[in-house]
Structures are given as structure tokens and as C-alpha cells.
Amino acid sequence: MASKRAVLAGAAALALLAGVLSLCVGAVALPPGELLAALSGRGEGTGAAIVLYVRLPRTAACMAAGAALAVAGAVIQTVLANPLASPNVIGVNAGAGAAVALCCAAAPTAVGLTPLAAFAGAFGSAMLVLAVAQRAGASRMTLILTGVALSSIFSAAVDLVVTLAPDALNGYTDFRVGGLGGVTMARVGPAAAVGALCLAGVLLLSNELDVLALGSETARSLGLRVGRTRVLLLALAAGLAGAAVSVAGLIGFVGLIVPHVARRFLGEESRPLVLGCALGGAALLTVCDTAARTLFAPYEIPVGVALSLGGGPFFIWLVLRQKGGRRR
């Protein structure tokens, strides 16, 4: 227990450091003193404006979206008993993105509806994948291929909406690959609230998640209502993924990389794993976004591109580790 607490404390410190770095570093470097003055309301001038209206919303979005995607990935991997699953791999992110595109086209001024639309799209996609897994007795790779097919369908739906209503998604490129340029607190607030509620729900169901991880038959023998629990946990994962997509676009691989790393340090117990994923996801996305907007200045690389460059090889490595992916 002490070691897990130490790991969680280290993850919290890393997330805090990533947040401070994100606020300080940029085209205009700000010393910690000026940063504290701006955050406390005592700052004046250009530096304070940059912190409050540009970097603070972006950092908050990074931390909220990263935590949500990482926890969603951990839940999905446990519920589907598939270490290759994550919100972007099985099409949950793409489903949320399609719903957000439709919502923006139908009600462009209703910003508050975006997280709800993202949840609906993510939940529908997750239920489709679960139905395939249960009805066909699908193997791990079949499940992943189903997610790839769903992602293609939903991505085509986003392209159709943008073609028919070009103004539906401002900054479409950033949304499609995942980016946080121009994000505002008005967008971050509702998404963070939905993500916090869903995270609390996952923590409340951590014991059920532990039992479900033992396998369906064992879980039933212990009295767990497997079907209902799966749907409820996938609904929470969909809420987390949808909240992230509504503010950060179709960012991938956070929900794949972080849960695997967290398990190596925290084991399989759900409560510390979920907390570790939340902290690790917030740190990873914030660090990647800071690097993407500063390393190639004055050019800014969408954070989704940076994550894909690292997440793609990681996914291939996971595939090769599975029995079906090894050469005999």
C-alpha cells in the first residue's frame, strides 16, 4: 500500500509540474512569480492576459481531457477483457466526434449541448462494440477490427457534415487530429464537470470492476450482475471519452498508453489504477501539448499528431505481444 501511495504521490507531482510548465512556457516565457500573480488576480498587462485567457484554459483542457481518456481506456480494457482496447481504437472517440459534428451543425450556438452529444455518440459506439463481442464471441483482434470499421464509418459521417455544413466545425483540422488551439473556459467547464462526475462513478464502482476483471463466469458466481455492470461501466467510460472529445477533438492513444504504464507500477487493483490513470493521463497530454506547441516554434503541431507518432508504435508492440501476433 505504501508503495502504491508513493507512486500516486509521484504521479500527482508530475501532473502538477506538467501544469506549471504548460503555464510558464510558450512564445512569451513567464517566470513563476508573474504566473502566481496572474492566477491570484494581482497580475496586470500582457503576461496576465496570456495566462488567464490563453494558457490557463488550454492547460485545464489538457489535464481534464488526458485524465478522462486514460480512465476511459482502463475501464474499457477491463470490461471488454482486451488489453488492446482504448477509446480511439474501438471507435468510441470517433462516435463522439460524429455526434459533436452533428450537434454543431444542428445547433451551432448551443455550446452546453456538446458534452451531451459527445456522450451519446460515445455510448452508442461502445454499445455496438459490446454487442459484437457478446453476440459473435469475438476474439481480441476481431473486436479491434470492428472498432476500426466503426471509426471509418463515424469519420465519414464527420466528413459528410463538414462538406454539407462547412461552418459546423471551426478549426476542423485540429478537431480531426486532436488539438487544443483556441480552447476557452466556456468549453472546458461543461466537459470537466461531466468528466468529474463519470470519474466519481468509476471510483464508486471500483469493487465491481475488480470482480468483473476476474472473468464473466467467476463474477456471476460471486453474485455480480455482469450485464448491467458492463453497460453501466461502459456508459461511464463513454461519458469520459465524450467529455474529452468535446473539448480536445479526436485525440488518440492516451487511453491505450497510460493504463498499460499504470498497471506496471500499480497492479490490477481498480481504485489505485483509476487514480493513477487520471493523474498520468493529465500529465502525459499536458507534456505532449507543451512540447507540440513549443519545440517547432513558431509552428505549432497539433498534439494529436505527436501522440499518434508515439502511440502507433506502442500499439504495434502490444499486438506483437499477444499470442495471436507472435510468429510460431
Q: 3-class secondary structure for 6-17? A: HHHHHHHHHHHH
- Residue of 56 and 165 predicted with greater confidence: 56
Indicate the average pLDDT of the chain: 84
Q: What is the pLDDT of residues 70-119, one digit of tens each?
A: 999 999 999 888 888 888 888 888 888 888 888 888 877 666 677 778 88
Q: Which amino acid is at 202?
A: V
Grid coordinates representing 275 are 487514480
| Confidence bin at 144 (pLDDT 50/70/90) | confident
Q: Are 159 and 92 in contact (CB under 8 A)?
A: no
Question: Do residues 321 and 82 make contact, with C-beta atoms less than 8 angstroms apart?
Answer: no
> What is the reported pLDDT for 328?
36
Q: Which of 18-22, 289-293, 299-303 has the lowest mean pLDDT?
A: 299-303
Radius of gyration of the chain (CA): 20
CA distances from 305 to 116, 240, 318 (A): 26, 21, 20
Of 276, 87, 264, which is closest to residue 199 (Cα–Cα)?
Answer: 276
Per-residue pLDDT reduced to its tens digit, 10-41 = 999 999 999 999 988 877 777 777 777 777 77
Average pLDDT on 196-211 reads 94
- What gap in Å lies between CA 86 and CA 92, rounded to an integer? 8
Residue 45, pLDDT > 90, answer: no
Assess whether pLDDT exceeds 80 at residue 1. Answer: no
- CA–CA dist 21, 7 (Å, integer): 21
Q: State the pTM of this model.
A: 0.86
Would you state the pLDDT for residue 58?
Answer: 92
Which range (35-44, 49-58, 97-106, 308-317) has the least confidence? 35-44
Q: Please, what sign has the CA dihedral across residues 104, 107, 110, 113? A: negative
Q: Which pLDDT score is estimated for 173?
A: 63
Residues composing the chain: 328
* Rounded CA separation 283/29 (Å): 20
CATH entry 1.10.3470.10 includes domain 76-251: yes
> What is d(CA 73, CA 88) in angstroms, rounded to the nearest whole number?
9
Contact, 197 vs 243, CB < 8 A?
Answer: no
The C-alpha cell that represents 205 in the structure block: 464502482
CB atoms within 10 A of CB 11: 23
Amino acid of residue 18: A
Q: Where are the beta strands (DSSP E) in the chain?
A: none
How distant, in Å, are the alpha carbons of 97, 99, 150, 223, 305 from that of 144? 19, 21, 10, 30, 21
Pairwise CA distance, residues 23 & 56, whole Å: 7
**Domain coordinates of the chain in residue numbers?**
76-251
Asked if 150 and 225 count as a contact pair (C-beta separation under 8 A), the reply is: no
* Contacts for 297 with CB less than 8 Å, ≥ 6 apart: 27
CB–CB of 50/94 below 8 Å? Answer: no
